[in-house]
Structure 1
Amino acid sequence: MPSQWSKKDERQYEHVKDSAEDRGRSEGRAKEIAARTVNKQRRKEGRTPNKTTSGKGNPRTDLEDRTVDELHNIASDMKIEGRSKMRKQELIEAIRDKR
């Protein structure tokens, strides 16, 4: 469990994990479900320090519907030069050209 979790978060984690195991989930899957549940609750309450995603978004989502951060992460993976100075539309065009 992460060190920034409160005692309440830890109790919730244990309860959800035990419940998932009682329903037949493996220990690893139960731990994942519990951690995701606690983190979702922390985000909902605004208690998670980092609220932004560092991901690339849903792969089925159009590029126009993604955030600039997501586009930047995609461009970074594709090693597109000059991406840090590009605007959203420029990132989209560069990603499409590279694909």
Structure 2
Amino acid sequence: MPRGDKDKYTDKQKRKAEHIEEGYEAKGVSKDEAEARAWATVNKQSGGGERKGGSGQKKSPAAKAKARESSARRAVATKHGVPRPGQQLEEMTKQALMDRARQQGIAGRSTMRKGELIDALRKAA
């Protein structure tokens, strides 16, 4: 017999376990083994008994979608070398500086060091 109290499981989980158990018994598995396998299956599929709160359940679906959209925009901006608000040229990576120099059409950028890129970008602005 499986250990533990089943009170924390939803009615749907209990019905599912009962249905799975019946299927195993029809195949000739003993009652105890069938019940153990059924509850193991329910636990694997749904993560166990009913839970209150926890990670990821505090935000509404709309709030999650907005956060993902905002995150995606920041990722694209970072990828393309767009500085974050208030970011100084000295804080940017050389690759980000190269991308900005490319966008501004600065000649000779491929052979410049980071300091030279910063100076060229300041002169071009």
Normalising by structure 2, report the TM-score.
0.40
Larger Rg: 2
